[in-house]
């Protein structure tokens, strides 16, 4: 199954039968990836009196309740409403779901006690390319990212200058395999979030940040067509499933 994409008078071919899923599944136990000091997700049969929503327990269907936090428990996409007093929903921020994307791999550098992604690293990785969406895979990159417990570990993050560089470059959608683009404990400064969404200038209401992705090592750096699938929650953030497609004629 192939599709022809037209963009700026050019045509690009993608194979819809070969998606590259870069999301992490949500599991209802302590093996699920976790951050921000909350309990692990729970997926359990609904109970009501003698009723237990499980075929194994005698019900006619499996009928589970799910408890999770989108920011803490897996791949999610968020909008500027994550850091503003005024309510804004990611469900209202996205009006398109397909974007030209660039995948880059970066090893965060040491800065004091932290590991950070700098403007210079992004410049070197991106080169002269332009894109609507940027996907960042950090090193080291192992499958342990799918179950890592990030609380109190001071994960790598983006410097403010790096986030501003992406804004200046015209990147509308940023995807990264970390729990946040900002430092875990920064006293609420949120410098990268604020820079990317332009909260102190012209607010970028349609820009999104997707965190907690996982990009397998087998997926090479380069240009892709991104399908950013977001569950239609009226919330500042929602579980999401970003999928990459190779662009055949590039």
Task: Give tens-digit pLDDT for 116-165.
Answer: 999 999 999 999 999 999 999 999 999 999 999 999 999 999 999 999 99
pLDDT of amino acid 57: 96
Q: Nearest 5°: phi and psi at 24?
A: -110, 135
pLDDT of amino acid 179: 98
Rounded distance between C-alpha atoms, residue 110 and residue 65, angstroms: 42
Domains of the chain from N-terminus onward: 2-26+72-246 (3.50.30.50)
CB 34 within 8 A of CB 42: no
Residue with tokens 């410049």: 123
pLDDT of amino acid 250: 57
Strand 157-158's sheet: what is its strand order? 109-111, 114-117, 157-158
pTM: 0.96
pLDDT of amino acid 9: 72
Average pLDDT of the residues of the chain = 96
Q: Nearest 5°: phi and psi at 233?
A: -90, 140
pLDDT of amino acid 239: 98
Q: What parts of the chain have a pLDDT lower than 70?
A: 249-250
Two tokens, residue 134: 């940027």
pLDDT of amino acid 11: 85
The string of pLDDT tens digits covering residues 61-77 is 999 999 999 999 999 99
Residue with tokens 């199954």: 1
Element (H, E) at 13: strand 10-15
Two tokens, residue 236: 């500042």
pLDDT above 70 as % of the chain = 99
CB 2 within 8 A of CB 15: yes
pLDDT of amino acid 3: 78
How far the first Cα of the chain sits from its last, in Å, is 18
Instruction: Identify the burial level of 130 via C-beta atoms within 10 angstroms of its C-beta, where 0-12 means exposed, 13-18 middle and 19 or more buried.
Output: exposed
Residue with tokens 């309740």: 65
């Amino acid at each position: 199954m192939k599709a022809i994409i037209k963009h700026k008078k050019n045509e690009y071919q993608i194979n819809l039968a070969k998606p590259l899923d870069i999301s992490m599944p949500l599991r209802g136990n302590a093996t699920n990836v976790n951050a921000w000091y909350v309990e692990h997700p729970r997926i359990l049969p609904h109970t009501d009196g003698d009723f237990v929503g499980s075929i194994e327990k005698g019900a006619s269907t499996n009928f589970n309740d799910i408890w999770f936090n989108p920011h803490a428990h897996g791949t999610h996409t968020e909008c500027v409403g994550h850091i503003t007093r005024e309510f804004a929903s990611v469900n209202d921020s996205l009006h398109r779901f397909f974007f030209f994307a660039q995948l880059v791999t970066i090893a965060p550098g040491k800065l004091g006690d932290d590991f950070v992604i700098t403007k210079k690293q992004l410049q070197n990785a991106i080169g002269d390319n332009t894109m609507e969406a940027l996907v960042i895979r950090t090193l080291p990159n192992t499958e342990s990212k799918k179950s890592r417990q990030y609380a109190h570990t001071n994960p790598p993050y983006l410097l403010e200058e790096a986030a501003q560089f992406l804004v200046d470059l015209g990147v509308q959608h940023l995807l990264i395999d970390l729990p946040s683009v900002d430092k875990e404990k920064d006293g609420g400064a949120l410098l990268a979030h604020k820079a990317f969404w332009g909260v102190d200038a012209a607010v970028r209401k349609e820009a999104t940040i997707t965190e907690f992705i996982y990009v397998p090592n087998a997926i090479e750096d380069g240009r892709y067509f991104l399908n950013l699938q977001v569950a239609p929650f009226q919330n500042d953030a929602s579980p999401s499933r970003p999928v990459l497609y190779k662009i055949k004629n590039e």
